[in-house]
């Protein structure tokens, strides 16, 4: 059968909620021939679940310290040139004040695995935010923690937790991480978070070093097992002070294609148009939204430290990425047929 014709039939099957074989998924992931049809089906699926709503999350990068050494990340402990900072509780609350006034009703507290940000500190910050803004959701993205820590954060009021698995394939995981880290542990954390009651987010890099189409299929299969509420993917972008400094960036086009595949496989999911996509080109943020994404996370981190949170080269920190430019973002969304929504934006299952 003509491969293009075959892939278009498979896209229709995906859109009808049917699962595909591993080779069929690998073919869709690797081929650009049907990107238009895929985006069209994905946009129809997102409109059925979420209409034209786009949820805005205020991102606060609370610490650039990290005890880990992921080979792809500019915040890795081994990067002696990284400028480190950590925000105090008061500084985080000031970001929330500003975000609330700008209309944000979800705050995402993200940071490296910083041993100095204790459970007591995180619980105190979460409960202060919830006390001041009970109509807002708090999302944490602070890496791997003990079960008891996750539980304490949840009991303090945290609603959601983001922890990207980055790659679900053991051999590939070993090429991206030092021996001190473990894929099994990462997966265990994700299932613990679900068990505790969080809305859970996971996801992976597209085009990371050594990644194959089969690796991406493993990522999709892992997500089917986890059934996360939020799925974030972004192209790999090298950072100059990491072991992967000389690798090429992942493809933005393939990332957008995968946003569509995710929307069709997980119609209920909250899927962001990520900063890394916009860093490769502003048009890819729009393309992701037109291809199934329904979340944007503008940055509320204080301007004086924002540039220090450098996960990869030339990470976008201004323009539409900045929470202060929310009215520009609203105009952009309107221009392409969507609307920014000022609400918590919880997941809609079924």
φ/ψ of residue 271, rounded to 5: -125, 115
Site membership for ligand SF4, residue 119 (CB under 6 A): no
- Binding residue (CB under 6 A) for ligand SF4 from 20, 75, 233, 277: 75
CB of 166 to ligand SF4, least distance (A): 8
CB of 111 to ligand SF4, least distance (A): 8
Site membership for ligand SF4, residue 15 (CB under 6 A): no
Joined together, the tokens standing for residue 264 give 């069709």
Bridge partner list, 110: 61, 141
As a whole number of angstroms, the distance between CA 4 and CA 8 comes to 6
Contact 106, 71 (CB under 8 A): no
By CB under 6 A, the residues from 122 to 151 that bind ligand SF4 are 143
Nearer to ligand SF4, 148 or 180 (CB): 180
CA distances to 32, 111, 113 from 128, in Å = 47, 18, 21
- Comparing C-alpha atoms, which of 230, 29, 65, 251 is closest to residue 143? 65
CB of 107 to ligand SF4, least distance (A): 19
Nearer to ligand SF4, 45 or 60 (CB): 60
Contact 275, 321 (CB under 8 A): yes
Site membership for ligand SF4, residue 113 (CB under 6 A): yes
Nearer to ligand SF4, 312 or 338 (CB): 312
- Comparing C-alpha atoms, which of 319, 315, 318 is closest to residue 74? 315
Bridge partner list, 203: 232
Q: Which residues contact 195 (CB under 8 A, 6 or more apart)?
A: none
CA distances to 15, 39, 147, 170 from 43, in Å = 11, 6, 37, 33
Site membership for ligand SF4, residue 112 (CB under 6 A): yes
Instruction: Number of residues interacting with ligand SF4: please give it, by CB under 6 A.
Output: 9
As a whole number of angstroms, the distance between CA 202 and CA 219 comes to 10
Nearer to ligand SF4, 133 or 173 (CB): 173
Q: Which residue has the tokens 């979420």?
A: 50
Nearer to ligand SF4, 182 or 253 (CB): 182
Q: How many CA atoms lie within 13 A of 340 on its CB side?
A: 24
CB of 90 to ligand SF4, least distance (A): 24
- Binding residue (CB under 6 A) for ligand SF4 from 76, 186, 239, 257: 76
> Pattern 53-72, binding to ligand SF4, x per CB under 6 A?
-------------x-x-x--
> Pattern 154-193, binding to ligand SF4, x per CB under 6 A?
----------------------------------------
Nearer to ligand SF4, 112 or 207 (CB): 112
CB of 299 to ligand SF4, least distance (A): 16
Site membership for ligand SF4, residue 209 (CB under 6 A): no
As a whole number of angstroms, the distance between CA 306 and CA 301 comes to 6
Residues at the contact surface with ligand SF4, assessed by CB under 6 A: 66, 68, 70, 73, 75-76, 112-113, 143
């Amino acid at each position: 059968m003509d491969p293009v014709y075959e892939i278009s039939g498979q896209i229709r099957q995906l859109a009808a909620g049917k699962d595909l074989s591993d080779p069929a998924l690998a073919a869709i992931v690797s081929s650009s021939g049907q990107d238009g049809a895929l985006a069209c089906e994905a946009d129809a699926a997102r409109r059925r679940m979420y209409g034209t709503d786009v949820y805005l999350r205020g991102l606060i990068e609370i610490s650039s310290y990290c005890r880990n050494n992921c080979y792809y990340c500019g915040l890795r402990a081994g990067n002696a040139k990284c400028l480190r900072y950590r925000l105090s509780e008061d500084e985080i609350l000031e970001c929330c004040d500003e975000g609330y006034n700008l209309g944000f009703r979800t705050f995402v507290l993200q940071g490296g695995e910083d041993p100095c940000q204790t459970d007591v500190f995180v619980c105190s910050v979460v409960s202060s935010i919830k006390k001041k803004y009970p109509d807002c959701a708090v999302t944490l993205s602070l890496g791997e923690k003990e079960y008891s820590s996750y539980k304490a954060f949840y009991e303090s009021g945290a609603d959601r937790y983001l922890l990207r698995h980055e790659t679900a394939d053991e051999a590939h995981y070993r090429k991206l991480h030092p021996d001190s880290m473990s894929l099994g542990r990462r997966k265990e954390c994700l299932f613990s978070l679900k068990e505790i009651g969080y809305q859970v987010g996971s996801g992976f890099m597209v085009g990371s070093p050594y990644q194959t189409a089969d690796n991406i299929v493993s990522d999709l299969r892992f997500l089917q097992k986890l059934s996360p509420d939020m799925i974030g993917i972004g192209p790999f972008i090298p950072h100059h002070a990491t072991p992967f400094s000389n690798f090429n960036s992942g493809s933005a086009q393939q990332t957008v294609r995968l946003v569509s595949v995710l929307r069709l496989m997980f119609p209920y999911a909250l899927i962001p148009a990520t900063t890394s996509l916009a860093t490769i080109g502003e048009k890819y943020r729009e393309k992701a939204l037109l291809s199934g994404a329904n979340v944007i996370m503008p940055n509320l981190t204080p301007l004086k430290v924002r540039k220090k949170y450098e996960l990869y080269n030339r990470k976008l920190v201004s323009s539409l990425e900045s929470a202060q430019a929310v009215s520009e973002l609203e105009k952009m969304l309107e221009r392409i047929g969507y609307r920014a929504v000022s609400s918590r934006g919880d997941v809609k299952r079924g």
